[in-house]
Amino acid sequence: MKPALAIENLGVAFSGFKAVDGVTTRIKHGELRVLLGANGAGKTTLMDLISGKTRSTQGRVVLGDTDITNWSEHAIALAGVGRKFQIPTVFRELTVRQNLLVGSCRSRGVLPNIAFGFPSTVHDRVDEALETIGLSKNADQVAATLSHGQTQWLELGILVVQDPSILLLDEPTAGMTQAETKKTAEIINTLKGQHTILVVEHDMAFVREIAEVVTVMHLGKVLAEGAIGDIEENPDVREAYLGSRRKHDA
């Protein structure tokens, strides 16, 4: 079976600097993949290349059977790639439910016409998403009054109701409390298998809770790939991250 997402020799250079340098990896349908690496390793830039925010200068991105390399962000989103950024973006003046209703419809101009209603199938999908993200009791709460963690979950719910084949999550626990981080892990684990998920994250405790396969990036390249236990014991990974810390301390 073809992978859900194939990244082949992908790279981008900015004024001669290779931010992503020949990355190749394949992500299976329903897999949850975590991207690890220090700041500047190329993780977010790789997400930018997949989602169309940045145009590549080498290689390609294949979504199922479709080569989506250097498509526009809008076209890639319509093809089935949904992305959640580190800083959540929601309609703060709308309720939680209204945000999800707007998110469920890809037609332009839906926001001014929200009062005209949506079919029952959409409401059912929204109810399911509310349950998944744990905000059923907050459905009629204005988004501006949500906590940081709740706002992050709402944005995740907006992606879920769009039913993308690929979910790209950039540091989904950033700024969260320990309790919020734990709940986020529970939400993402619920989504396993339903979507193919690629997560950029630094919190190793969180990674251990969700990861199936981990790809470690270093200086724009893939340094290692495998199960979390194997990654933690990998000598190249330990030297790249622990070794550099020892030199700094010395």
On whether both 113 and 58 belong to a single domain, the answer is: no
Strand order in the sheet with 5-14: 17-27, 5-14, 58-63, 66-67
On whether both 64 and 92 belong to a single domain, the answer is: no
On whether both 172 and 76 belong to a single domain, the answer is: yes
Chain segment 147-175, per-residue pLDDT in tens: 999 999 999 999 999 989 999 999 999 88
Chain segment 173-201, per-residue pLDDT in tens: 988 999 999 999 999 999 988 899 999 98
On whether both 169 and 182 belong to a single domain, the answer is: yes
Measured CA to CA, the distance from residue 90 to residue 113 in angstroms comes to 17
On whether both 128 and 16 belong to a single domain, the answer is: no
| pTM of the predicted protein model | 0.88
On whether both 181 and 208 belong to a single domain, the answer is: yes
End-to-end CA distance of the chain: 50
Do the beta carbons of residue 223 and residue 236 sit within 8 Å?
yes
On whether both 157 and 169 belong to a single domain, the answer is: no
On whether both 69 and 172 belong to a single domain, the answer is: yes
Measured CA to CA, the distance from residue 206 to residue 91 in angstroms comes to 28
On whether both 121 and 229 belong to a single domain, the answer is: no
Chain segment 201-230, per-residue pLDDT in tens: 888 889 999 998 999 999 999 999 999 999
Quote the domain boundaries for residue 98.
88-163
On whether both 173 and 247 belong to a single domain, the answer is: yes
User: Structural domain tally of the chain?
Assistant: 2
On whether both 1 and 67 belong to a single domain, the answer is: yes
| pLDDT class of 249 with cuts at 50, 70, 90 | very low
- Domain ends where: 108, 142, 163? 163
- pLDDT value for 109: 52
On whether both 169 and 74 belong to a single domain, the answer is: yes
- Alpha carbon 218 to its chain's center: 19
Task: Give the pair of three-digit tokens for residue 192.
Answer: 């396993």
